[in-house]
Amino acid sequence: LEEFRLHKSAAEIEEMHQAGDDADKAFQYGFAALAEGVSELAVAAYLEYETKKRGIPGMSFETLVQFGAHAANPHGNTGNTILQPGDMALFDLGTIYGGHVSDATRTVAYKSVSDHQRDVYNVVLEAQLAAQDAVKPGMTAGELDKIARDVITKAGYGEYFVHRLGHGLGSSVHESIQIAQGNDFVLQPNMAFSIEPGIYIPGDMGVRIEDSIVLTETGADSFTHLSKELQIID
């Protein structure tokens, strides 16, 4: 069973691509719900309602929406924090297609963005893209984590990247692969996992950017395709 879960079949990969397409749409419903004075819970509820209304059977986990300083808690929950102009809004979500799941994160700015926010965002994006571009069969999970972590550390934010780079997924949103520091597990074709660096500055802000990918002979094939450039939602 474990071997079957580690290496995805073509049919499983196709379902994960479909789930990724649905996740891309779900983000857009969430962005459309951003308005001054709205709560995280209200935005998450609207996003899930619009997603399911369009025939997508369900989310793969409870949608996470965090605004402003609340997003500095990487293991936080969607709550009653109210959106204010100048906040960053973090969305972590996934959908189910057939028996397989998606998992992705996007962080957007609401109304305006400060130089500090833009700097933090761009560091996370650089780290995410560096890892996603570099991953290849034969690399260890620890080596992949280090690629992203080194970008964030070099920029001076190393102490604020407080979790592993990623985890396996497939029929469940958390499977056994751990993309973590020092892990010498060797990555092989047809393995699926997330790449999700983040910077979380307590009392200030949090940014995470995540795609989940399947590893091919040549590199990463992402299930989600929504732009990762910093969006400012008006």
DSSP per position, 32-75: HT--TT-BHHHHHHHHHHHHHHTT---BSSPPEEEEGGGGG-TT
Round the CA-based radius of gyration of the chain to a whole number and report it: 17
- Dihedral, CA of residue 97, residue 102, residue 107 and residue 110, to nearest 10: 10
Instruction: Quote the domain boundaries for residue 84.
Output: 2-233
The CATH code of the domain that includes 50 is 3.90.230.10
Q: 3-class DSSP state for residue 173?
A: coil
Structurally, how many domains does the chain consist of? 1
- Is the entire prediction scored with pTM above 0.95? yes
Placement of tokens 């780290």 in the chain: 127
Q: pLDDT for 43-88, tens place per residue?
A: 999 999 999 999 998 999 999 999 999 999 998 999 999 999 999 9
Q: Please give the Cα distance from 209 to 135 (Å, whole number).
A: 16
Length of the chain measured in residues:
234
Q: pLDDT for 79-137, tens place per residue?
A: 999 999 999 999 999 999 999 999 999 999 999 999 999 999 999 999 999 999 999 99
Q: pLDDT for 78-95, tens place per residue?
A: 999 999 999 999 999 999
Pairing outcome for strands 220-222 and 211-215: antiparallel
Q: 3-class DSSP state for residue 167?
A: strand
What percentage of the chain has pLDDT greater than the value 90? 97
Q: Please give the Cα distance from 41 to 54 (Å, whole number).
A: 20
201 has pLDDT over 70: yes
